Structure 1
Amino acid sequence: MDLLGGTTILLIICLTLLVTWKMSAAKKKNLPPGPTPLPFIGNVLQVISNNLPERLRKMSDIYGPVFTLYFGSERVVIAYGYEPVKKVLIDNGDDFLDRGRMPSSDKANNKLGVIVSNGERWLQIRRFSLTTLRNFGMGKKSIEEHIQEEAEYLMKELRATKGRPFNPATLCSSATCNVISHILFADRFDYQDEDYIRMLKLLTEAFVLDSSYGGQLYYFIPEFMDFLPGPHKTFFKNWSHIEVYVARKVEEHEKTLDPTNVRDFVDSFLLKMQQEKNNPKTEFTRENLMVTIVDLFTAGTETTSTTLRYLLMVLAEHQAVQAKVHEEIDRVVGRERPPAMKDRPEMPYTEAVIHEAQRFLNLAPLGLARRTRRDVELEGFTIPKGTTVYLVLGSALRDPKQFKTPYKFDPGHFLDENGNFKKNGADMPFSAGKRNCLGEGLARMELFLYTTTILQTFHVKHPPGVTQIDLTPKVSGFGNMPHEADLCFSPR
C-alpha cells in the first residue's frame, strides 16, 4: 500500500511538472493564453458543454479574442469575435487556408473529397467541383427553374395537410435534397419513398450526434473514444449508410456512362477519371469521387433544409414579421405567378428576414477548423505552423459591435434607414474567403424561392393550444441543431 501510494504521488508530481513546463514554454513562445490543461485530456472538462458556443464566449471574456485550448494532447487556438475571424478568413486567408484537424470528419472522409482535404488535392477537387456545379446550372436560370418545379411538389404536400399540425422537417429535407440530387445524379425522389425518408432522417441524426456530448468528446479525445461505446459510434454507422447509398448511385452511373451524353456531376467526374487514368499522381480517383459526392450531397441537403425549417419556425413565432413578408410578396409578386430570383432585389424586407434567420440560427457556430501554413502573428500572439485554429463564426454573427441586438431576432439588422437591404461583413454563415461554402449561391437561391413560394399561399401558424415555439438549439456543440416543431400551414 505504501509503495502504491508513493508511486501515485510521484506520478501526480511528474504530471504536474509536465503541465507546468508546457505552460511555461507556451509563454516563452508568445502563444495565446488559455486555461491550464490536464494531462491526457487537456481542457475537456472546462470546454465540453450542452452549450459549447456559450462556454467559448465566457472563455473569451477571460482570455481575450484569441486563446489556446488543448483538445486532449493537441493544442488548438480559438479566434473569437468578428475582427480576429475576419483576419483569419480574409486578411490573412492564405496563411490559414488548410483544413485543421476535425476527428469525426477526418475519420469519415479519410482526408479525401472537398471539405477536409488539403494542398493540391483540395485545389484540384474544389476547382473541378465549382466548374462542374456551374455547368449543371448552379447560380443560373436553369437551376432556378428546377427549384421552382420542386417548390410545386413541396406546395402539393403542404396543401395535403389541410392546415393540420405536422412536422415539416422531412419535407424540407426532401425539397432541398432533390435539388442537389438533380445536379449530382440527374434524379429526384418521391416524397413518400420510405428508403429515401429513412436516409434523410439518418443524415439529420448524424448532424445532431456530432454536436452531442459524445460527439464533442470525440473531437477532444478521439484516440480514447474509438475504444468506447457512445453516440459517435451511431454517427459513423449513419454515415456508412449514406456512403452505401452514394456508392449504389455511382455504380449505376458507371454502367450507363455515355461520353456523348453527360448527365450530371457523377458522369463528369467519371469522365475526368478516364482522362487521367494514366496519371499516377491524379486526384481523380474513385475514392475521391465517393467522398466528394458525399460531401456535396450531405452539405447540400442538411444545412439548407435545417435553415428552411428554422426560418418557418421563426415566422410562426414572429407573426408581425410574417405579415410584412406577406405584404411584400403580394406587392412585388402577386398571387398569379411563382416567385422568381428577379423579384429578389425588389424584396429587401424578405431578404433581410432570411439573412437574419440564418444569423439567429447560427447553424455552424465554430465553422470548420483551419490549420496554419506557417508561423502567423494574430492579435499580438504567435500561432505556430501546423496549429489547428477554430474560427467561431457564431461570434461574428453575434458580435455586439456589428449587430445592435445580437441575441434578438430583428430583420432590422439588415435594413438601412430607408428600408433597403444592407449588407454586413460579419454576416458569414457560409464562412468567407477562399474556402467558403461551395454551395452558398445555391443555398441562398433555395431559401429565397422556397420561402416566398410557401408564404405566397400559406400563413404559418402555431398548432392549436401552442403559444410558443422553442427557438433555442436542441443541441449546441460544433453545430446548433434546432428542436423539431409541429406547424400549421393555413391557406391565406
Structure 2
Amino acid sequence: MTDTESLMAGIWARIHPWTLLLASVTFLLLADYLKSRRPKNYPPGPWRLPFVGNLFQFSLELSHLHLDIQPFVKKYGNIISLDFGNIPSVVISGLPLIKEALTHTEESFLSRPVIPTRKRVFKNNGIVFSSGQTWKEQRRFALRMFKNFGLGKKSLEQRIQEEALYLVEAIGEEEGQRFDPHFKINNAFSNIICSIVFGKRFEYKDGQFQELMKLIEEIVCLEASVMLMLYNALPSIITYLPGPHQTVFRNWEKLKLIVSRMIDSHRKDWNPAEPRDFIDAFLTEMTKYPDKTATSFNEENLICSTLDLFFAGTETTSTTLRWALLFMTLNPDMQEKVQAEIDKVIGHDRQPRTDDRESMPYTNAVIHEVLRMGNIVPLSVPREVTADSTFTGFHLPKGTMILPNLTALHRDPKEWTTPAIFNPEHFLENGQFKKKESFLPFSVGKRACLGEQLARSELFIFFTTLMQKFTFKPPVNEKLSLKLQRTITCSPYNYHIYATPRQ
C-alpha cells in the first residue's frame, strides 16, 4: 500500500458513521433544492418540503384534494404553484384563465403529464394520457370509430334505449324493496361502450363481465389511496413496498389479459372488409402499417385504447347517474317536476329520445345541475407544459403539470346564485334552458372529453327513462349523505333507496 493510500485509509477510518450520514443527507437536500429551484416569476404558493413537496399539507385522500386546494387559491390567487412529490404543478382558477390555458395557449399545454402510475401501466399508449403522435392518431381514430358505429345516429340511440329498458327491468326485480343502485347502473353504462368496443352487450350476471366490473371498481377505489399518492410522488421508493398500489398494478395486468383474449377471439372470425366494432376496425388499421415503429397502431395500443374507452365510458357517466338518483331522492319536489314534464312531453309508454331534450328544459337543467354539483372530475384531466412558457406574466418551465380548478369554477358565487345548493334554476331563464359559459364538466379545447356527445345522450335517456318508470324514495329512518367516497372521481358513498313503479 502506498503512503497516499495509507493516508486515505486512515482518514476514512476516522470518519464517524454519523458524519457520513449527515453528509449524505446534506447532499440529497442540496440536490433536491437544485433540482426543484423555481425560476423568477414562478407562480406563488405555500412552502414545500424536500422530496415530498406539498404532499403532507393535504388530507392525502385524492377524493378531497380539490377541496384541500381551495384555501391556497384564496390565499395566493388564481394561479398558484404546488408540488406533488417531484411533480411541479400549477393550479389555474377562474373562467378567463382556464379558457386561455386550455384553448388560446393549448399548443403549449396540450400534452399529458407522465404520472408514474399511468407510466407503469400504459407508458405513452392509449387515448386519455398519451401525448404527441400517439395521442393524435388514437384520438382521431376513436372519433372516427364512434361516428362509424353510431354516434349521432339512430342506431346508437336505439342501443342506449334498449339498455335503459334492461336497467329498468333490473331495478324492477327489486320489487320496490330497499336496494343499492350502484352496480346496476355501472353495468348499464358499461354495456353501451361494450357494444361499441366489443360489438356486443353482456348479461348483467355474465361471469367475464362481472370480473371486468370488479377489477375496475377496485382500481377506482384503490387509486385514490394514500399509498398510490405516495407512489406517484416517490415511485423509486414505494415501488418496492407492499400495499394497494401492487393490487392496482395486478388488476391492470388482469384487465389487459382479458382484453388481449377478446382480441384473439375477434381474430378468429375477423373480416377486414366488414368491421363489427372498435377492435375489428383497429385490427384492420394495423394492417396498413407494416413498419410498426412509424405508427401507434399496434396491439399494445389496441389494448390500452380499449381499456381507456371502457374505463372512461363507464366510471364518469355511471357516477353522474348515481348522483342524479341521489339528488332526486333528496329533493322529491324536483323529482315531481321532472316527472310532470316527462308525462307532458313523452307520456308513460313511449321511450325518451335525445331530441326530446329541446322540449324538456327543466329535465335538461336538472341533468346539468347534477353535473355541476356532482363535480365528477374536479381538477379536470391534467395537462403538461411542453416547453418553457410564459402564462399571464408567470414563467412555467417545461414539465409543469397544469390543473384546471373546475371546483372553484362550478362553485363560484359570481357565476351561481346558490353555488353550494342543488338548484336547477341555475340553468333556467324564464322557464327556458340557458347555457352557462362557466360550465365545463367535459373540459374544453382539443383535449376535451371525446365522449361528451355520447355521455350527454346516455345521461338524458337513462335518467329520463328511470324518472318515467319509477319514483325514488329514501329508506325510512335512514339519512342519505352527500359525502364523497374515496375514489379517483367525486363519487357518493353507496346508498340504498326505494324504487316505486309509477302507474
TM score, norm. by length of structure 1: 0.94
Residue in structure 2 matched with residue 448 of structure 1 by the alignment: 460
Partner of 2:6: none
Listed as ranges, the matches of 1:390-401 within 5 Å are 390-401=403-414
Distance 1:80 1:161 in 2: 44
Matches within 5 A, 1:450-465: 450-465=462-477
Query: Is 2:319 aligned against 1:309?
Result: no
Write the deviation string for residues 411-464 of structure 1: whole angstroms up to 9, x where unpaired: 111112x02111112211111110011111111111100111111110011123
Deviation at 1:278, TM superposition (A): 4.3
Q: Alpha carbons of 1:347 and 1:46: their partners in 2 closer, same or farther (altered >3 Å)? A: same
Match of 1:491 in 2: 501
Match 1:272 to one of 285, 304, 307: 285
Q: Is structure 2 residue 393 aligned with structure 1 residue 367?
A: no
Whole-Å separation in 2 of the counterparts to 1:221 and 1:22: 15
User: Are 2:112 and 2:131, in contact at CA under 8 Å, matched by a contact in 1?
Assistant: yes
1:11: Cα distance to partner?
Answer: 6.1
Deviation digits for residues 292-319 of structure 1, max 9, x if unmatched? 1111011111111111112111111111
Structure 2 letter corresponding to 1:45: F
Q: TM-score, structure 2 length as denominator?
A: 0.92
Alignment of structure 1 residues 140-159 onto 2, 5 Å: 140-159=153-172
Q: 1:291 matched to which residue of 2?
A: 304
Query: Could you list the runs of 5+ residues in structure 1 that have no partner in the other structure?
Result: none
The correspondence for 2:489, drawn from 455, 473, 479, is 479
Which residue pairs with 1:188 in the alignment? 201
Question: RMSD in angstroms over aligned alpha carbons?
Answer: 2.1
Of 242, 245, 252, the match for 1:229: 242
**Aligned residue in 2 for 1:160:** 173
Amino acid of the structure 1 residue aligned with 2:141:
F
Superposed displacement of residue 392, structure 1: 2.5
Q: Which moved more, 1:125-134 or 1:193-202?
A: 193-202
Write out aligned runs for 1:12-411 (5 A). 25-26=37-38, 28-50=39-61, 51-278=64-291, 280-411=293-424
Shift of 1:74: 3.1
Q: 3-state DSSP class of the match of 1:93? A: coil
Is 1:436 the counterpart of 2:427? The answer is no
Count how many residue pairs are aligned between Structure 1 and Structure 2.
487
The answer to whether the Cα contact below 8 Å between 2:124 and 2:134 also exists between their aligned partners in 1 is no
**Aligned-partner SS, 2:108:** helix
Letter in 2 for 1:350: T
CA distance in 2, matches of 1:22, 1:267: 47
Cα contact 1:82–1:399 (8 A) shared by 2: no
Q: CA deviation at 1:353?
A: 0.8
Structure 1 SS opposite 2:432: coil
Aligned to 1:469, which of 476, 480, 488? 480
Deviation at 1:163, TM superposition (A): 0.6
Please identify runs of 4+ aligned residues in structure 1 that moved more than 4 A.
1-23
Letter in 1 for 2:151: M
**The 10-residue stretch of structure 1 (430-439 or 5-14) with the greater mean CA deviation from structure 2:** 5-14
Using a 3 Å threshold, how does the CA distance of structure 1 residues 367 and 103 change in structure 2: closer, same or farther? farther
Aligned-pair CA distance for 1:250: 0.9
**Per-residue deviation at 1:220?**
2.1
> CA–CA distance in 2 between the matches of 1:388 and 1:354?
31
After superposition, what is the alpha-carbon deviation per residue over 1:153-207, rounded to whole angstroms, capped at 9, x for unaligned? 1111111111101111111011111111111111111112233223213212211
Aligned counterpart, 2:11: none
Aligned-pair distance for 1:289?
0.8
TM-fit CA distance, 1:3: 4.3
User: Tell me, what secondary structure is at the counterpart of 1:49?
Assistant: coil
Residue 420 of structure 1: aligned partner: 432
Q: What is the identity percentage for the equivalent residue pairs of Structure 1 and Structure 2?
A: 39
**Cα 1:138–1:206, aligned 2, differ >3 Å: closer, same or farther?**
same
* Aligned 8 A contact 1:84 1:378 in 2: no
Partner-residue secondary structure (3-state), 1:275: coil
SS of equivalent residue, structure 1 residue 394: helix
Amino acid corresponding to residue 294 of structure 2 in structure 1: K
